[in-house]
Structure 1
Amino acid sequence: MDRSKLVKEVRGWTFTILAVLAFRTFLYEAVYIPSGSMIPTLQIGDYVIVEKWAYGARLPFTETAQATWRSPARGDIVVLLAPPGNPRDDDLIKRVVAVGGDTVEIRDGHLVVNGDPVPRERVPGRCTYWNKNEGGPWREEPCVDFVETLVDHRYHTFCTPYLPCGDVPVAKVPDGTVWLAGDHRDHSADSRVFGPVPVGRIKGRAWLALVSWGPGGPRWDRLFHFVNH
């Protein structure tokens, strides 16, 4: 291969690699859901595409956004950098339930924002879901199913029968932060554990479940399944 062809080939590969890195850094990224904190909205085994440009832009290996053009809204499902002191470095995925200036409270799984209980209806009938600890077997577990309506977002939340569902006393959300909760209210380490999260630590907004693997293999009904915000 002569020198000019080699230079062209190296240049082509370099542009390709840079384009892929830019796409993953600033536009979209796939994240794996290893735990059940967002069941039933997100399932263990989902691979979720994240819109990294939804709120701002962050350079690789930095802990806060260098540019922010929009703040997460109540009801958004977001991916965030693991809070300082978190036992694991994995990115987390949770729902924004309150924003800066709000007050937030949870009474036995029931969300209260600015003193008003968020509308919630219990879904009658039998409720079960598939749970799995990392490295462990799949198991079917019981639940209590509710439909919650936060602003214009309507989604399901789960609690465990006959157990408290994660009370939170009234707290004020500081400006520039958001308060996060899992849809599986008593199976989520969220702002009840690590407090409000600075907006700059939000990496992006969950958009699409690209593929999903469950106890029986591929979940075909979740192929290209849009995330319910």
Structure 2
Amino acid sequence: MRWFEPLLVILTLVTGLVWALDKWVWKRAPREDSLLDEGHENGLIETARSFFPVLAIVLVLRTFIAEPFRIPSGSMIPSLQIGDFILVNKFAYGLRLPISNTRIVPIGDPKRGDVVVFKYPGMTPDDPQKGEDFVKRVIGLPGDRVGYHMGQLTINGVPVKYQTIRAVPDGDGEGMARPSELRTEDLPGHPHQILVSDDSLALGAQGDQDLVVPQGQYFVMGDNRDNSLDGRFWGTLPEANLRGRAFAVWMHWGHDGINLSRVGHSVP
């Protein structure tokens, strides 16, 4: 919900301004207006005074500490499922201002294998999804040479190794019905599971890529390799678009209702 953060900021500023005026201006002024007499306080002032501390705490927590996000698509299956509610570490990559997402205090940078939430840069300037929150895995760091051909990922000329875990005859169960394989991808420093369609070769050069990741940018991919709109199609991710690092599932509410078995899972 792109509107929630601006609305939270506006409400916090408005209630904070009313609270400050009430505390430092109106209560010190002569009380000629009966609306400001003790015992007959204006309802707006009372509401602002009650809600401002709550709004301020929520704004600080979700801006600088942790923010919840809901997984709306199957692009990160098997690591994340549709309906997972994840917590995102907002200070892992530096403190950022709300709305503008400008980094004001550098703290760290993404590592290969991190699952990151970011503002989608869009395939075109008028892409209707541009600015929405996406979640993918960091594959390429600044300066890396990344290749992806016929399902084989290479980093700096070295092919990444895979190990098949089992067949998944029904695909991802969320729209990709093609028979698939669950594999371990031995990403340097961060092995993890991916889902790959059995007919990846039949897809031809779809998503094939060869690039050098520019400084200040990252190359990201979904773990559901044949059902993910990621860097193979729209290019590299600017550092300025990063929102934070996903680290835990705190709730799951999918098509079949609440699934308590997902609660508390760390994001691999």
* 1:90 paired to 2:127: no
1:179-198 to 2 correspondences below 5 Å = 179-198=219-238
Q: Tell me the alpha carbon deviations over residues 164-192 of structure 1, each in whole angstroms, 9 at most, x when there is no partner.
A: 36452321011111100000111111111
Larger radius of gyration: 2
- Could you say which structure has the higher strand fraction? 1
TM-score, normalization: structure 1? 0.86
* Runs of 4+ in structure 1 over 6 Å off: 6-9
Q: 1:163 aligns with which of 200, 211, 230?
A: 200
Q: Aligned partners of 2:241 and 2:264: how far apart in 1?
A: 27
Q: Which amino acid aligns with 1:91?
A: D
Q: Any stretches of 5+ residues in structure 2 without a counterpart?
A: 1-37
* 1:33 paired to 2:76: no
Which is worse superposed, 209-218 or 44-53? 209-218
Q: 1:45 aligns with which of 83, 88, 92?
A: 83
1:59-208 to 2 correspondences below 5 Å = 59-84=97-122, 85=125, 86-88=127-129, 89-128=131-170, 129-132=172-175, 142-164=179-201, 166-208=206-248
Q: Which amino acid aligns with 1:49?
A: L
Q: Any stretches of 5+ residues in structure 1 without a counterpart?
A: 133-138
RMSD value, Cα:
2.4
Partner of 1:212: 252
Q: Aligned partners of 1:23 and 1:3: how far apart in 2?
A: 34
The number of residues matched between the two structures is 221
SS at match of 1:150: coil
Q: Retained in 2: the 8 A contact 1:131–1:141?
A: no
Give 1:140 deviation, angstroms.
Answer: 6.2
Partner of 2:27: none
Q: Aligned partners of 2:232 and 2:137: how far apart in 1?
A: 13
Give 1:117 deviation, angstroms.
Answer: 1.1
Which is worse superposed, 152-161 or 170-179? 152-161
Larger RCO (CA within 8 A; separation ≥ 6): 1
Which is worse superposed, 121-130 or 146-155? 121-130
Q: Aligned partners of 1:45 and 1:62: how far apart in 2?
A: 27
Q: Retained in 2: the 8 A contact 1:105–1:167?
A: no
Q: Tell me the alpha carbon deviations over residues 63-121 of structure 1, each in whole angstroms, 9 at most, x when there is no partner.
A: 54233221101000000012043431420000000100100011222221011111211
Give 1:226 deviation, angstroms.
Answer: 0.9
